[in-house]
Amino acid sequence: MIVLVVGTIAQRELGLYVAQNRYFSSFYFWVGSVPFPGGYPMMGLIFVGVVARLLAPAVWVRQKLGVNVVHLGAALMLAGGFFTATFSFEGNMVIGEGESADYISDYHATELAFIDTRAADRDQVTAFARGWLQPGEKIAHAAVPFHIEILKYFRNSTARPRSALPPEDARGFAKNFELTEAPVEVEDERNRAGILFRVSQADPGVNGIYTLLERMPVPQTLKAEGGDFIVELRRLRTPLPFRLELTKFAKKLHPGTEIPEAFRSDIILHDGELRQPVRVQMNEPLRYKGYTFYQASFIENGSQNTTVLAVVHNIGRVFPYLSGIVMCIGLLIHLVMQLPRLFRNEGATR
Amino acid sequence: MLLLCACSSRDREVRTYSIAKVQPAPQLAAKAFSQTSSGAVRWTSPAGWKELPGDSIRLAIFEVPGKEGGAKAEASITVLGGEAGGLEANVNRWRQQAGLEPASADEIKRSGKGGKAKFGDFQQFQIDGAEGMPSILAAVFSRPGKTLFVKLTSKQKILETQKASFTALCRSVRDSDEN
């Protein structure tokens, strides 16, 4: 109850994402100098308690059958929560008309990606998740022909044109702009991560200090081993085993207003030889290979509209339905088993 | 315990995979701009200016001719998110680069010359550098959510000869779907 109250009130100040991570998707949190268990151990304890109850032979008596089935449904729901917390991910896809996309961008997590463009047919991506982007972290990987040392990382940052001469080993963007930390925004979508890192073990002209910001108009490029490596700080991308091409986006407004009533995306699903036209619109998502694509938003841009699809991949998605059904069955069993007693009591009062 | 291990491993994940070829940087510049704002940007390079590929934040870089065989100058078109620090801060930063003291907001407002382009209205500033310091011509376009700068840095003599070309470049800035 403390977790629920504290976490819910904190959402107002911290925003949904930070409050959820701090209180509900955590093992502990601090209230002043007192540690409290977070959502994970609390749910774990409840799950253990429910399962322990079900394992006790003494509770499996006829009169308690319905209640036990309800508890089984609760255990299923908690198990589903575990699978969702551990294995699910969600993000969005932004596709312009006439264009296609084959990856999902995470809403919050960031990554540092190195794209090897040397091959003629395809590019090779090596992406390091947020846990690698700590100051002092040293990165060396077989697919990246130079070493990286993280110097600074900010969750929200701005780039300010340099007013003084840059350091001698500043390269690219870092020559003209310096990275500064900015206050973290409550709405996480407004935060723009920034990173300062040092490259070594490359050519002398490439070794040096680089700065990257999320959503830079032009990504940074490093030359190494006869080719170009594009470097990006971006929201974590999950590649899809198929591609979606937006052929047309259409929007319908409420009559006499500029308020959208409905909008839809006409898409071609490309998967190997498959070319499947599909329509994604409000309340009619696309479900394919474990992914669900919802029509979330759009960007109007004169001649080219862009659709924004919310994408979820959740292996625990069936558990809430399953647990709901099991709990309903349990309640029905309990009701049916109580009926004779109810009729007996009613007869006695008459 | 399982959840703890899962959370830790996700944070330290290294993903390797292949993707379709990424576009080269110059095409990415205009296209990326369209993904972050209301549209890609086009311009008409002045005669005699050599356009070079953009870099991390500059959409375009120009090599500006000086006297024949003499020094050249550099111009650029840059876009930054939001107000990019504001007009006063940017003009005073250029003044500092030119070896001058900061100016007040009123002085800056008076020194700006308004101009019009299809991309929008812009404010143009000429900052004559102190002795031995570069001079700067700069134009600032403000759009909701972003600011576009056009800047020429050079010796005073080159700046005077290229002023008209600079203004013509600024007036030619437009969205990609306009001719």
Within chain A, residue ranges assigned H as helices are 2-14, 16-19, 39-55, 65-87, 173-176, 318-349
Q: What are the DSSP calls for B68-122, one per residue?
A: TTS--EEEEEEEEETTTT-HHHHHHHHHHHTT-----HHHHHHH-EEEEETTEEE
Segment A158-181 mean pLDDT: 83
Average pLDDT over residues A219-235: 89
Q: Is B34–A192 a contact, with Cβ atoms under 8 angstroms apart?
A: no
Q: Could you state, in order of their start, the residue ranges of all structural domains in chain A?
A: 2-87+317-349, 90-101+239-313, 108-237
Cβ pair A218:B96 closer than 8 A: no
Asked which of A220-224, A248-252, B175-179 is least confident by mean pLDDT, the reply is B175-179
- What is the pLDDT confidence band of residue A348, given thresholds at 50, 70 and 90? low
Most confident residue range from A3-17, A40-54, A146-160: A146-160
Residue B37 pLDDT more than 50?
Answer: no
Chain A residue numbers with beta carbons less than 8 Å from the beta carbon of B13 are 129, 131
Mean pLDDT of A169-184: 86
* Total-model pTM: 0.63
Where is pLDDT greater, at A54 or B72?
Answer: A54
**How does pLDDT run across A87-106, given as a tens digit for each residue?**
888 899 999 888 899 999 99
**Chain B residue numbers touching A303 (CB-CB < 8 A):** 177
Cβ of A125 within 8 Å of Cβ of B2? The answer is no
Q: Which of A122-126, A331-335, B19-23, B74-78 has the lowest mean pLDDT?
A: B19-23
Domains, chain B, in order of start with CATH, read 22-175 (3.40.1000)
Q: Give the span between the Cα atoms of A25 and A89, in whole angstroms.
A: 14
Interface test with B, best of A171, A197, A218 (most B CBs within 10 A): A218
User: Which residue in A121, A141, A239 is closest to B17 by CB distance?
Assistant: A239
Answer yes or no: do B97 and A130 touch at CB < 8 A: no
Question: Kind and range of the H or E element at B134?
Answer: none
Q: Do A129 and B11 touch (CB under 8 A)?
A: yes
Q: Does A122 touch chain B (CB under 8 A)?
A: yes
Residue from B56, B59, B88 to probe the interface with A (highest A Cβ count within 10 Å): B56
B174, pLDDT greater than 80? yes
Query: For residue B34, is pLDDT > 70?
Result: no
State mean pLDDT over B100-122.
89
Q: Residue B25 has what pLDDT?
A: 42
- Per-residue pLDDT band at B58 (split at 50, 70, 90): confident
- Assess whether pLDDT exceeds 90 at residue A60: no
Residues A287-301 have pLDDT tens digits of 999 899 999 888 876
Contact B73, B152 (CB under 8 A): yes
Span B19-23, mean pLDDT?
A: 74
Average pLDDT, chain B: 78
pLDDT at position A65 over 70 = yes
Of A124, A220, A302, the CB nearest to B56: A220
pLDDT value of position A302: 60
